[in-house]
Amino acid sequence: MARDYYGLLGVAKNASADEIKRAYRKLARELHPDVNPDAAAQQRFKEVTAVYEVLSDPAKRQIVDLGGDPLSPGGGGGGGMSDPFGGAGVGLGDIMDAFFGGGGQRSRGPRSRVRQGDDALIPVELTLEECATGVAKDLAVDTATLCSVCHGSGCAEGTHPETCDTCKGAGEIQQVQRSLLGQVITSRPCPVCRGFGEVIPEPCRQCNGDGRVRTRRTVRANIPAGVGDGIRVRLSGQGEVGPGGGAPGDLYVEVRELQHDKFTRDGIDLHCTVHLPMTAAALGTSMALQTLHAVEDLDIQPGTQSGTVITLRNQGMPRLRGTGSGHLHVHLEVVTPTHVEGRQADLLRELATLRGEEQPELATRGHGGLFSRIRDSFAGR
């Protein structure tokens, strides 16, 4: 019969740690050999001390509360509570079975040689035009493929896997240890079969028993319109074949967008710069602009200033998901001639005179006009 741990100290089962400590100290003062030399008292002192050490340890006290006996020879089993199913008694392992579905670590059984394959990643360079319209690309990829000789089994022709003699097909080696908590069973993968439960007596020479080989093959990737730099397109089932001929993973095609010589991209919008002659900006004009999709007429209003932005709607990139497109923003930059002479210079001077625009060099000679007025304003005139 299991010890009555609480009764030996004279406390209730729901006693606090302080109550247990006070009860033990009281008994220790009465039963200590220095106070009570009686042999029976000395034996009882040893017993209540051992009981106190159990009840003051939360883990051991929990075993007691579950009906176990941490001080029994079995470390929690022998002399335990009566077996409700007809046995003489149950130990800690049986208690764990009853409350937690099994004592120690349960066997997981052999693991399969067939496992899911990994995903693969391959980059592809696309021009801005290809990103805008979508494109089909034939890509050369190096991935693990199913072995054509053993078809994933890993065995040489005419042979088959055999049950491991070390673990008898369990895939694990179990070790039993006895401790204060009772019988503890630990498991580890079998070192001979590596947890598979079977061994390959003669591996396939082509794949060396792996069930797969590395092969270069061609895969067609249909890349949708609207992709951009860093976007990945998934090709389901085109990745690495798994060990043992397992199902392949996916292949991801990562877009690397090449820089365009005319357009720059901002999400689904595009930007470009058009250099406009001074005379065209002043007089206005119409010019043809090649966009990604078609040739568009660009109307330049008279008196257009440098830095003006004209937006062509729906002439940008298509949306990757959804409908519609971005816009094309045309930045106008008015170009001033860097060198004029002869007739061109005479015409510009004549134009300046007609417009009443004084030349800067005339301002230093005291001539009236814009620059003179600016100078006079600073002089306080």
3-state SS assignment for residue 301: coil
Tell me the C-alpha distance between 306 and 331, whole Å: 8
Q: Is 193 annotated as a binding residue?
A: yes
The helix (run of H) or strand (run of E) holding residue 7 is helix 5-9
272 is in an annotated binding site: no
Annotated binding residue 204: yes
Asked whether residue 155 is marked as a ligand-binding residue, the answer is no
For the chain, what's the residue count? 381
- Ramachandran region, residue 77 (left: φ > 0; alpha: ψ -120 to 50; beta: rest): alpha
**Distance (Å, whole) CA 381 – CA 379:** 6
173 in Cβ contact with 107 (< 8 Å)? no
Is 131 annotated in a binding site? The answer is no
End-to-end C-alpha distance for the chain, whole angstroms: 121
φ/ψ of 91, rounded to 5, equals: -105, -170
CA proximity to 245, closest of 111, 142, 147, 143 = 147
Q: How far apart are CA 54 and CA 76, in angstroms?
A: 11
Residues of each annotated binding site for Zn(2+): 147, 150, 164, 167, 190, 193, 204, 207
Residues of each annotated binding site: 147, 150, 164, 167, 190, 193, 204, 207
